[in-house]
Structure 1
Amino acid sequence: MESFVRVSGIAAPIMRINIDTDQIIPAKYLVRTSEAGISQGLFAGWRLRTDGSVNPDFILNREPYTRARIILADRNFGCGSSREAAPKALREWGIRAVIAPSFGGIFFNNCFRNGLLPVELPIEQVQVIADQVEAADGETEVTVDLELETVTTPSGEIFSFRSPAVLRQMLLQGVDEVSLTLGRSAEIAAFRAQDQAKRPWAY
């Protein structure tokens, strides 16, 4: 797994509600022999025209948002089908964090396992960030810090967020559930020794 501590970069406001996983990565882009290149399908229905050419009106096709590291969105980002390809496509594109008031539950958990941080902030705070970004025509930076659990706006305001403790630790360390568990092998061995003394028949 890929670790995440903090990121500073351009934030792209895609302030729509209920952006589902099929909009993030349409199903036809899932039929592939390798995960490499999966970002070619990212937001394909919006990013590309019907003839396959680039849609210049979509934000990720416009400078400076082509270099976005963060996405700003409205409620229920990543809802819909449980496709792990959605956070994978975002990550391969270069996105490290998505800031929204709420997320689809499965998408939220999948983000942590794919080096992507989902940040939940009230819509009023997300809108403040979006307004500041748009006022600067995108030429400004937002900082997301998982260690401190803060988002710093372009003007320097600091908003706090919370992440599930275990998922946060996994992402900070860049480990999955198995590796995180094995990291406590000494505690596990001590428990087993105690338990074996109490219940030798079980061993």
Structure 2
Amino acid sequence: MTPFTTLTSRAVPLLRDNVDTDAVIPSREMKSTGRTGLADGLFAPWRYLDAGREHGARAPDPEFPLNRPEASGAQILLTGANFGCGSSREHAVWALGEYGIRCVIAQSFAPIFRANCIRNGLLPVALPEAVIAAMAWQDVTVDLPAQNVRCGAAIHRFEIEHEPRQMLLEGLDAIDLTLKSLPAIEDWTSNDRKARPWVYLGV
């Protein structure tokens, strides 16, 4: 994974509560079990006009925030409470990442979605509703080492646990994180073999 340290980007507002993973990436948009080919289906029910979908064309809805010209290249998404609720599909995070989103700032996150973000290098930041609303369409800097978000003169601290923070800073998934402790694991196993050799008979 690409390490996450600091990120400066225009912040695109999708200020809705209870955006579930089926809205982020509908099941009909998941053409394979892989992590790629999902960006086109991101927020498909909202990004495309109904008439265009019925005729097989992907006609963008010009009113949808990600389709607006000022959203081009944006890597920060602003949203409401309980983002990523519903099913636990990891495709939702994959679709956001492939589209180019590296940070989602929300009032709160569904726990499984938040965990999926961290495992896939996408930073979930929880901030109050009024703070999020004030950052809409502004240039925002997210600083993970300092654990703050800066918008103009305003600085807002966010909380993140030590282990998820390290995973994001170093670009590690759960297996990589475990392998960092491999010398200690091997040392413990070696000592345990000496202390309890009968446990390892036949190994």
Tell whether the structures are fold-level matches, with TM greater than 0.5.
Answer: yes
Matched with 1:150 is 148
2:87 is the alignment partner of 1:90:
no
Residues 11 and 69 of structure 1 are in contact (CA less than 8 Å); yes or no, is this contact kept in structure 2? yes
**Aligned partner of residue 64 in structure 1, secondary structure:** helix
1:121-200 pair list within 5 angstroms: 121-130=127-136, 138=137, 140-153=138-151, 155-200=152-197
Offset at residue 32 of structure 1 (A): 3.0
> For 1:33 and 1:162, how far apart are their aligned partners in 2?
32
The whole-number CA distance in structure 1 between the counterparts of 2:190 and 2:129 is 50
Fraction of identical pairs, as percent: 44
| Aligned equivalent of 2:109 | 103
Q: Helix, strand or coil for the counterpart of 1:82?
A: coil
Q: Provide the residue aligned with 2:56 in structure 1.
A: none
Decide whether the 8 Å contact of 1:108 with 1:118 is kept in 2: yes
- Structure 1 CA distance for aligned equivalents of residues 72 and 44 of structure 2: 14
- C-alpha displacement at 1:33, in angstroms? 6.6
Q: CA deviation at 1:63?
A: 1.5
**Does the 8 Å CA contact 2:108/2:126 hold for their aligned counterparts?**
yes
* Partner SS state of residue 10, structure 1: strand
Contact kept? 1:2, 1:114, Cα under 8 Å: no
Counterpart of 2:8? 8
CA displacement 1:83-137 (0-9 Å, x = unmatched): 111111111111110001110111101111222111111223223323xxxxxxx
| Structure 1 alignment gaps of length 5 or more | 131-137
Q: Quick one: distance in 1 between partners of 2:153 and 2:147?
A: 15
1:45 aligns with 2:42: no
TM-superposed deviation, 1:80: 0.6
> Distance between the aligned counterparts of 1:126 and 1:33, measured in 2?
33
> Which amino acid in structure 2 is aligned with residue 48 of structure 1?
Y
- State the one-letter code of the partner of 2:164: L
Distance 1:78 1:176 in 2: 20
> Counterparts of 1:61 and 1:71 in 2: how far apart (Å)?
13
Stretches of structure 2 that go unaligned for 5 or more consecutive residues are 54-58
1:81 paired with 2:87, answer yes
